[in-house]
Structures are given as C-alpha cells and as structure tokens.
C-alpha cells in the first residue's frame, strides 16, 4: 500500500508486528458466516446501507453482493495485481512462496514487491524479484523510493533491475528511515521528489513502465487536494502510466477523487488499492496513521472478534468482495490487492468475483 510516506505499500510492518499465522481458508464459506453479516455500505447507490436486512443464508449474501462469474476475462472479469513484501526469515520466505504458488494461477497483470523505509530491504527486494522472474511466469514490478540515496545510487539500482529483466517500477517518495511521523529529509545528491524519480527512470530506461501512488483522501503531508493532485499530475507528466491508490474503505472517496483527477486532465488508470484485513485492530491502527479513514460501520463488523481469527477472515472476505463488486458495478475493472504475503483471503475474494485459476473448468 502507500503509507504516510506515500506508500501504504509498506503495510508489511503490520505483519512484522505480529499478525499471526492463521489457518488457510478452506473452501468457500458456509452458513456459519451469515450471523455476522449485516448491511454493508460502500457508497454510490448502495441501497443495502439504508435498509438493514437479516441475511439468513450465505448464498443469499453472495447472490446479492457478488456478480455472476464471467466466462472469460474479456467478458468483464476484473483484472488484478498483487503486492508482496520481501521476507525477513527463511520461514517467512517459505510462506511467501506458498502464497505466490497459490495466487500465480489467477494470472495477475503483475505483482509488485515493496521496498522498505529508507531502502532497508533493498537486497531482499531484488532477490525476491529475481526469483519471481526465474521461477514463475509472473511479471514483477519493483518498488523504488528516493529516500536516503544519491541519484547515482538509485540509477544503479534501476540499471540492475533492468539487466535482471524488470520492466516495471513502482516509483515512490518513500518513508523516512525513522518511520511514519518522523521528519523527511532528502539526500543532498538524491532525487528530491517522486516526480523527479519518475523522470529519472524514464530518461535512462524509456522501456520501463512506471506506476506511482495516489491518495483518495490526499496524502497526509499535502496542504490540500489541489496540491495533492498537482503532485500526481507532475508524476504523470514525468512519464507515469498508472497510479495505485492508498487503501480506502468508502468507495465514494475513490469516486470523488477520480472526478477531481479527471477534471485536471489526468487520464491514466487510477487503480484501487484493496486490503483484506486479517487482523482488523492492527490494520486499523496502521492505516489511520497513514491518513486512511476507517468508517464506524466497518469497525462494527469486526466488533467482538479479536480472539476469533476464523470468523474475522469470513467477515473480511465478505466485506472486501462487496467493496470490489460495488466498484466494478460502477465501471472499475482493475484492482490491486495488498496481500500481506497471505493467499487465503485474496484467493477467496477473487473466486467470489469469478476469477479462476488459468485452465480451471467451471461448473456447468
């Protein structure tokens, strides 16, 4: 994701802070979910938000909130991409590769790998990217920030990626090494802003695609929305061809932001960043520091589930699937999932949206 530093793409600190290893979500839920599911509001013509209904069957929930599976991606099936973070330990590396193996058959457009605050995961990011290129058919996108490094150093990193075969960079300003809320200090010989970083990448390697960040609630350090969109436009003018949003939970925030962006003549894809929450309390604490609003209705969905990981997963899958379906209903056809290196919820949500592993046969 793209955190206060511009990247909640650095949600992986939540994982490091203690999101536990939950059992893999088996099968497609059953009736045990519906007592916890109530009206879900995602904005823009969501009548269910205004008329509470006791949903007695999980199948009824799915029929009302999830579109019928498409028969092919060409028939309105959403396009998807996934974000991973570089593992710190051998155990975490094994977990990551189990996740990649599970999600790869869903044929994402690309997968991105984050870059820690101040470049702290530089080598691990590169080795993860290199292994993805070597062992899978996935197209990796390397996150890159301009924090704490000279231009020459950043240019060398991009050159190394290019030699490895990477043709997609997610260019971000980056968090200060001290973390969220600490002063951001530019390197005297470095790229000073994310638009400068984008321009530097495109100048040296025109064949590299560059994605950037976008903020439906504006970046916490931006003076106002106009200034925030000025920055996005500068990144687009420098060569960015896609923007991935900070996580949001109210779809109206995304659509209002999209209206502002289009009014400024910015026509690149603004891809919603979607986060299934394995641990709501920890995720909420982090995303609010990053400037994301967590609606009361969402907190109520997870109320009383702190010690019930299985039910949390069921609720999270339903909530996120509903959010994505509402976005898709209003014309959004591409989604970027912040996986937290976990496959269970993301795979289930994609299944509910009609996305199947390549070659899988659908029931008649």
Positions marked catalytic: 83
Cβ–Cβ < 8 Å for 212, 235: yes
**Mind giving me the DSSP string for 115-134?**
--GGGTTHHHHHHHHHHHHH
d(Cα 340, Cα 149) in Å, to the nearest integer? Answer: 26
* Residue 17 CB coordination number (10 Å): 11
d(Cα 329, Cα 64) in Å, to the nearest integer? Answer: 12
d(Cα 25, Cα 102) in Å, to the nearest integer? Answer: 12
Contacts 24+ apart (CB under 8 A), 134-139: 136/100, 136/104, 137/104, 138/100, 138/104, 138/108, 138/110, 138/111, 139/109, 139/110, 139/111, 139/167, 139/168
Q: What are the phi and psi torsion angles at 318 (to 5°)?
A: -70, -45
Report the DSSP beta bridge partners of residue 336. Answer: 81, 273
Q: What are the phi and psi torsion angles at 94 (to 5°)?
A: -60, -40
d(Cα 18, Cα 166) in Å, to the nearest integer? Answer: 32
d(Cα 347, Cα 276) in Å, to the nearest integer? Answer: 11
d(Cα 226, Cα 218) in Å, to the nearest integer? Answer: 9
Q: Which of 4, 6, 12, 5 minimizes the C-alpha distance to 338?
A: 12
d(Cα 2, Cα 112) in Å, to the nearest integer? Answer: 12
Cβ–Cβ < 8 Å for 244, 2: yes
Strands, E assignment, 208-272:
209-214, 242-245, 270-271
């Amino acid at each position: 994701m793209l955190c206060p530093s511009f990247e909640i793409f650095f949600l992986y600190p939540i994982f490091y802070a203690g999101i536990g290893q939950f059992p893999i979500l088996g099968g497609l839920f059953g009736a045990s979910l519906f007592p916890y599911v109530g009206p879900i509001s995602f904005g823009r013509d969501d009548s269910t938000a205004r008329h509470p209904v006791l949903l007695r069957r999980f199948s009824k929930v799915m029929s009302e909130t999830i579109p019928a599976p498409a028969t092919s991606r060409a028939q309105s099936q959403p396009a998807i991409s996934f974000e991973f973070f570089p593992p710190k330990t051998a155990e975490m590396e094994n977990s990551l590769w189990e996740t990649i193996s599970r999600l790869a058959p869903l044929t994402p457009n690309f997968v991105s790998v984050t870059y820690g605050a101040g470049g702290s995961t530089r080598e691990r990011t590169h080795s993860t990217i290199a292994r993805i290129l070597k062992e899978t058919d996935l197209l990796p996108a390397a996150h890159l920030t301009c924090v704490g490094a000279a231009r020459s150093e950043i240019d060398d990193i991009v050159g190394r990626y290019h030699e490895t075969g990477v043709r997609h960079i997610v260019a971000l300003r980056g968090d200060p090494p001290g973390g969220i809320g600490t002063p951001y200090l530019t390197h005297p010989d470095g790229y000073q802003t994310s638009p400068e970083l984008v321009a530097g990448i495109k100048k040296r390697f025109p064949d590299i695609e560059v994605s950037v960040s976008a903020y439906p609630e504006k970046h916490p350090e931006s003076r106002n929305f106009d200034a925030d969109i000025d920055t996005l436009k500068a990144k687009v003018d420098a060569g960015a061809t896609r923007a991935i949003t900070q996580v949001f939970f109210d779809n109206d925030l995304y659509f209002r932001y999209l209206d502002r962006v289009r009014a400024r003549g910015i026509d690149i894809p603004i891809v919603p960043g979607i986060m299934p929450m394995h641990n709501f309390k920890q995720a909420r604490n982090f995303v609010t520091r990053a400037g994301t609003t967590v609606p009361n209705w969402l907190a109520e969905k997870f109320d009383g589930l702190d010690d019930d990981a299985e039910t949390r997963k069921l609720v999270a899958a339903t909530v996120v699937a509903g959010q994505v379906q509402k976005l898709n209903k209003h014309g959004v056809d591409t989604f970027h999932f912040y996986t937290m290196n976990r496959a269970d919820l993301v795979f289930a949500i994609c299944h509910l949206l009609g996305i199947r592993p390549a070659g899988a046969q659908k029931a008649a």
